Amino acid sequence: MSEPVEEAFAAMAAAHPRCFWLDGGGARDWSGRRSLLGWLDEDDVSLSYAAATRTVTRHAGGRSEVVAVGDGDVFAVLEAELTAGGPDDQWFGYLGYACRPDLPARPARDLPDAVWMRPSHVRVFTHHDPGRHAERAPAATRRMTSAGTVPVPEEYAAAYARVQEALHAGDSYEVNLTHRQRTTSDLDPVAAYLRLRALNPAPYAGFLQHDVPGARAWLLSSSPERYATVARTDDGGRSIETKPIKGTTPRGATPEEDAAAAERLRTEQRYRAENLMVVDLLRNDLATVCEPGSVEVPVLMDVESYASVHQLVSTVRGRLRPEVGTVAALRSLFPAGSMTGAPKRRTMEVVDAVEATPRGVYAGAFGWLAADGRADLGVVIRSLVTTGDGTWELGTGGGVTVHSDAASEHAEARWKAERLLAVFAAPVRDTRR
Per-residue pLDDT reduced to its tens digit, 124-137:
999 876 444 444 44
Answer for the pair 92, 120: CB distance below 8 angstroms, yes or no. no
d(C-alpha 192, C-alpha 194), whole Å: 6
> What is the three-class DSSP state of 86?
coil
Average of pLDDT values for 28-34?
A: 78
pLDDT of residue 286: 97
Q: Among 225, 274, 393, 409, which one carries the catalytic annotation?
A: 225
Answer for the pair 163, 413: CB distance below 8 angstroms, yes or no. no
Sheet of strand 383-386, all strands in order from the earlier edge strand to the far edge: 121-126, 34-39, 18-23, 204-210, 217-223, 383-386, 391-400, 174-184, 341-342
d(C-alpha 409, C-alpha 369), whole Å: 35
H or E element at residue 227? strand 226-232
Residue 211 CB burial class (10 angstroms; 0-12, 13-18, ≥19)? middle
d(C-alpha 239, C-alpha 320), whole Å: 6
Does the pLDDT value for residue 17 go beyond 70? yes
Cis amide linkage into residue 153, ω under 30° from 0? no
Answer for the pair 204, 367: CB distance below 8 angstroms, yes or no. yes
Residue 102 CB burial class (10 angstroms; 0-12, 13-18, ≥19)? exposed
List, for residues 246-297, the tens digit of each pLDDT value: 988 888 989 999 999 999 999 998 889 889 999 999 999 999 999 999 999 9
Residue 225 among the catalytic residues: yes
d(C-alpha 98, C-alpha 182), whole Å: 20
Which is nearest to 278 in space by CA: 347, 375, 378, 367?
347
Cα–Cα distances in Å, from 241 out to 34, 318, 343, 403? 19, 7, 20, 29
Residue partners of 29: CB distance under 8 A and separation at least 6: none
pLDDT of residue 428: 53
Does the pLDDT value for residue 45 go beyond 70? yes
- For 348, left (φ over 0), alpha (ψ -120 to 50), or beta? alpha
How many other C-beta atoms are found inside a 10 Å radius of the C-beta of residue 160? Answer: 21
Which is nearest to 83 in space by CA: 72, 95, 94, 91?
91
Name the pLDDT band for 426 (thresholds 50, 70, 90): low
pLDDT of residue 431: 40
Residue 296 among the catalytic residues: no
% of residues, the chain, pLDDT over 90 = 82
Q: Among 246, 274, 344, 409, which one carries the catalytic annotation?
A: 246
**Four-way CATH pick for 5-424: 3.30.465.10, 2.60.40.420, 3.60.120.10, 3.20.20.60:** 3.60.120.10
Strands 217-223 and 204-210: antiparallel
Q: How many CA atoms lie within 13 A of 109 on its CB side?
A: 13
* Dihedral sign from CA coordinates of 264, 269, 272, 274: negative
d(C-alpha 139, C-alpha 154), whole Å: 31
Average of pLDDT values for 396-403?
A: 93
List, for residues 169-212, the tens digit of each pLDDT value: 999 999 999 999 999 999 999 999 999 999 988 999 999 999 99
d(C-alpha 280, C-alpha 284), whole Å: 6
